[in-house]
Chains A and B, each alone.
Chain A
């Protein structure tokens, strides 16, 4: 098995596979097909691929029209443009009429890297999550996205799925089970729960190892479906471990940390620490340098876990 995989690469390959048996699948891109990996689809299905040029707003509206004509559009561009530039088009033309459009946005988070702030997207999960009807998913590795795409294809309605430029570690075996709206415990533990999505799941697993060496038993949850979020799992983790850390490659405002806090603060408040990007714009650098720089590493998650454990003990 490969050690690392790019979620965007697997997206491109899986889209082709799915389209071979489902003739209703069409793909749209905004001049980034070489980066989003829809170029693979374009090569095999030129008649069903629409390069919309550098015009994301038009692309979202066109996808809506294709869905209204019975097609299943997979729409790709960088996350900053899909969720940012075309947010209102996504809201109005796709989500409000609940159309069957799958937005698979690549280059999410800061690990786009050297291109810097203009191309990094650290707000997409928050601004997609607030749109009614929208399902929001971030795969934890290159295996999970295959299952996510199958599930999205089999579920009518709008989806926002975030992929990454950076390759990151493979966690799951082929054919791992995925169910929309269900999180999964990927490491058992009893002292604290680390809830993560995207590449932060693999960092959280590393953090759990670091904590184990200190005698702390950390549960790790892969919350790949950010919306609808798995409230039952969050609450059982809150009850059973009494403390929570969240980890995401996203602003600390509005994303996974916020969503988890919303659930537990209304139902079963326990101490929480959020790992994410502070309320700030980031800068250019390699993906790895940026994860170090902005505190999105296993060591940061472990430190936050120790802090939240102190809070938990204090409450007792």
Chain B
């Protein structure tokens, strides 16, 4: 699971792998909802929209070792949209970085699972994040440092689409292109919603494809819930050299994906499910 051997199937994702990943993503969604419901606080919509990509990353794409979280040659993942932490924590626990029971401590006093990712508190977390707009800069810095060390590790960073309203993102986009950080791959969780409503109504960010292209990036647009598209897109960075063009995957996703009555609704951005919603959601997910 999730080691170098498991990630050699570039371009050829086996059907049995995909059905395994789908099942993992289903369990991840159950974990996400359970931990947020238990915390009675957290970001439901954006954690669910990221769940399939997070599953692909941690169970197929990333070269990492849960037994050695600080292994120097590992690929890095930075969750710039730090409010999606429940998805990341679920992935880390399901991979074995820590016990699944710990998920129930999310957002509680003295927990290792803070409301937003904390590199010093949680095994497997590579960067502190949560204040939007900063993660791509951090990923760039990691890639620069790894390159100086002569390592071939890939650095993945997940951005929210609303987050792209932060100017620092575009500063960092320039940096990655200027310094030819070919090992950097940004993933935009393009669910189209932010706290106050639709991204296009709050502050339009389109045309996204053209913007990233103009900033000098390789751009791919995919369905962020289809593993047959997600995996080759995310693995394409493995063929890049450390001095190539950086890559971005614009993943079209659905906020609240997997729970019919959450899907596509901005109001579930930052609220925990009620008891009734939780029961109903679990039923839908077969939990």
How many angstroms between the C-alpha atoms of A96 and B135 in the bound complex?
14
Residues 72-112 of chain A: 1 if any B CB is under 8 Å from the residue's CB, otherwise 0? 01000000000000001100110011100000000000000
Number of residues from A at the complex interface, CB < 8 A:
30
How many angstroms between the C-alpha atoms of A20 and B145 in the bound complex?
18
Contact status A64-B137, CB under 8 Å: yes
B44 at the interface (CB under 8 A from A): no
Q: How large is the interface on B (under 10, 10 to 19, 20 to 34, 35 or more residues)?
A: 20 to 34
Contact status B145-A52, CB under 8 Å: no
Stretch at the interface among A55-63, A164-172, A222-230, A238-246: A55-63
- Which residue of chain B has the shortest Cβ distance to A51 in the bound complex? B178
- Which residue of chain A has the shortest Cβ distance to B175 in the bound complex? A58
Among A34-73, those with CB < 8 Å from B are: 47-48, 50, 52-53, 55, 57-71, 73
Contact status A47-B171, CB under 8 Å: no
Contact status B131-A61, CB under 8 Å: no
Contact status A88-B131, CB under 8 Å: yes
Contact status B137-A65, CB under 8 Å: yes
B130 at the interface (CB under 8 A from A): yes
B179 at the interface (CB under 8 A from A): yes
Contacting residues, chain A, for B146 (C-beta < 8 A): 69
- Please tell me which one of the listed residues A47, A57, A63, A88 contacts residue B141 in the complex, with CB atoms under 8 A apart: A63
A26 at the interface (CB under 8 A from B): yes
Contacting residues, chain B, for A70 (C-beta < 8 A): 72, 145, 149
- Please tell me which one of the listed residues A55, A71, A96 contacts residue B174 in the complex, with CB atoms under 8 A apart: A55
Contact status B179-A93, CB under 8 Å: no
Contacting residues, chain B, for A71 (C-beta < 8 A): 145, 148
Contact status B175-A52, CB under 8 Å: yes
B49 at the interface (CB under 8 A from A): no
Contact (A93, B134) CB under 8 Å given A65-B140, A66-B141, A66-B145? yes
How many angstroms between the C-alpha atoms of A37 and B168 in the bound complex?
25
Stretch at the interface among B120-128, B223-231, B263-271, B274-282: B120-128
- Please tell me which one of the listed residues A57, A67, A92, A96 contacts residue B171 in the complex, with CB atoms under 8 A apart: A57
Q: Within the complex, what minimum Cβ distance (angstroms) separates B271 from chain A?
A: 24
- Please tell me which one of the listed residues B72, B144, B167 contacts residue A62 in the complex, with CB atoms under 8 A apart: B144
B138 at the interface (CB under 8 A from A): yes
Contacting residues, chain A, for B126 (C-beta < 8 A): 68
B139 at the interface (CB under 8 A from A): yes
Q: Within the complex, what minimum Cβ distance (angstroms) separates B194 from chain A?
A: 19
- Which residue of chain A has the shortest Cβ distance to B141 in the bound complex? A65
Contacting residues, chain B, for A61 (C-beta < 8 A): 134-138, 140-141, 168, 172
Closest 7 CB pairs of A and B: A65-B141, A61-B137, A69-B145, A58-B171, A55-B171, A62-B141, A65-B142
Q: Which residues of B contact A (CB under 8 A)?
A: 72, 118-120, 126-128, 130-131, 133-146, 148-149, 167-168, 171-172, 174-175, 178-179
Q: Which residues of A contact B (CB under 8 A)?
A: 26, 47-48, 50, 52-53, 55, 57-71, 73, 88-89, 92-93, 96-98
Residue pairs across A and B with Cβ atoms less than 8 A apart, 19 shown, are: A26-B144, A55-B174, A58-B137, A58-B168, A58-B171, A61-B135, A61-B136, A61-B172, A62-B144, A65-B127, A65-B137, A65-B139, A65-B142, A65-B144, A68-B126, A68-B138, A70-B149, A92-B134, A93-B134
Additional A-B contact list (10), CB under 8 Å, known A65-B141, A92-B130: A47-B148, A48-B148, A55-B168, A58-B171, A61-B134, A66-B144, A68-B145, A89-B137, A92-B128, A98-B120
